[in-house]
């Protein structure tokens, strides 16, 4: 009898141990799954935080660029809201609404520079007033301030760009190769100098070693005057030097003619250059954010 009781106790103990092992095994499974899920959620939260931080930084960068350039009125807060960006219309903004921005400084200060405004604009009919004289910056600015509506403001803004001192900037250093415009400028110089070259055109490009590593591009020129007096030579050189267009005369060849007492003047293409520079562009960049930091 005692033996049977002992065997029954052992069976119950063994059964209890099995249940205990199953319970521990089940708890271990749940614990492992729970730890894995917690770890996964923590990684997701950290990754989402990185994305949100990058988005916020991009928004701040865009807002600062817009504020610096003067594209929109200043935001109510530190950054532009979606509604503020939707309502933004650069053509309907007056410079008084965007003080101390790049746009306001250009339109109010640079465009008003009297020395730069002395550049003639007689070739552009929209720059000539009813009195037959070129508009002054004061008159252009008045048109801009009195313009009503986006179209009128856009037209007044373009007139300021085309007729004020702002025109000097692209004229002095164009953003692309434009031989026709260059030759037209030189032709004006010849007419103003009362001198007609015997030959005139582009020359072969012999790269200037000093400019190989620069952002400037060369437009080599060559023209030749035959049988001209010293006053004409001096006038041509002086007018080239006074030109708004950047023209670099390194070397010229003078040949004296004993039969007339005049000179032959050769501007060699390897020694006279005009310049142009590629325009700057703002490009959007894409940044890839990985869940795990990679060295």
Question: Per the structure block, which two tokens stand in for 77?
Answer: 């807060």
How many angstroms separate the CA atoms of 122 and 136, rounded?
Answer: 13
Q: Give the pLDDT confidence score for residue 295 in this predicted structure.
A: 42
Per-residue pLDDT 10s for the chain (295 aa) are: 555 655 666 666 666 666 676 666 677 777 777 777 777 777 788 888 888 888 888 888 888 988 888 888 888 888 888 888 888 888 778 888 888 888 888 877 777 776 666 665 656 677 877 787 777 777 887 888 888 888 888 888 888 777 777 777 777 788 888 888 888 888 888 888 888 888 888 877 665 555 555 677 888 888 888 888 888 888 988 888 888 888 888 778 888 888 888 888 887 766 778 888 887 777 777 777 777 655 4
How many angstroms separate the CA atoms of 239 and 267, rounded?
Answer: 14
**CATH code of domain 179-277:** 3.30.70.60
Give exposure, 135-161, as e/b (b: 16+ Cβ within 10 Å): bebeebbebbeebeeeeebebbbebbb
Q: Give the pLDDT confidence score for residue 77 in this predicted structure.
A: 85
- Identify the CA nearest to 250 among candidates 266, 228, 227: 266
Q: Give the pLDDT confidence score for residue 12 in this predicted structure.
A: 64
Rg (CA), the chain: 38
SS (H, E, C) 21-72: HHHHHHHHHHHHHHHHHHHHHHHHHHHHHHHHHHHHHHHHHHHHHHHHHCCC
Confirm whether pTM is higher than 0.75. Answer: no
**What's phi and psi for 275, nearest 5 deg?**
-130, 155
How many angstroms separate the CA atoms of 177 and 205, rounded?
Answer: 13
Q: Sketch the domain layout of the chain as residue ranges.
A: 1-88, 89-172, 179-277
267 exposed, middle or buried (CB, 10 Å; 0-12, 13-18, 19+)? buried
How many angstroms separate the CA atoms of 202 and 270, rounded?
Answer: 10
Q: Give the pLDDT confidence score for residue 121 in this predicted structure.
A: 62
């Amino acid at each position: 009898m005692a033996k049977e009781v002992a065997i029954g106790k052992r069976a119950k103990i063994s059964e209890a141990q099995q249940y205990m092992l199953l319970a521990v095994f089940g708890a271990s499974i749940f614990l492992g799954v729970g730890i894995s899920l917690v770890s996964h959620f923590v990684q997701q939260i950290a990754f989402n935080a990185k994305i949100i931080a990058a988005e916020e930084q991009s928004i701040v960068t865009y807002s600062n660029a817009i504020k610096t350039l003067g594209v929109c009125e200043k935001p109510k807060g530190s950054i532009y809201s979606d509604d503020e960006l939707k309502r933004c219309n650069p053509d309907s903004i007056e410079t008084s609404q965007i003080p101390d921005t790049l746009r306001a400084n250009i339109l109010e200060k640079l465009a008003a520079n009297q020395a730069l405004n002395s550049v003639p604009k007689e070739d552009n009919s929209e720059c000539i007033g009813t009195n037959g004289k070129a508009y002054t910056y004061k008159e252009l600015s008045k048109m801009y301030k009195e313009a009503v509506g986006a179209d009128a403001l856009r037209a007044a803004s373009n007139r300021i760009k085309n007729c004020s001192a702002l025109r000097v900037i692209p004229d002095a250093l164009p953003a692309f190769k434009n031989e026709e415009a260059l030759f037209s400028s030189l032709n004006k110089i010849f007419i103003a100098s009362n001198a007609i070259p015997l030959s005139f055109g582009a020359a072969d490009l012999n790269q200037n070693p000093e400019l190989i590593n620069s952002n400037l591009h060369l437009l080599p020129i060559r023209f030749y005057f035959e049988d001209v007096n010293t006053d004409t030579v001096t006038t041509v050189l002086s007018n080239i030097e006074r030109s708004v267009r950047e023209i670099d005369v390194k070397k010229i060849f003078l040949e004296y003619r004993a039969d007339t007492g005049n000179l032959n003047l050769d501007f060699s293409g390897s020694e006279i250059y005009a310049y142009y520079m590629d325009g700057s562009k703002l490009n959007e960049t894409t940044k890839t954010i990985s869940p795990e930091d990679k060295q």
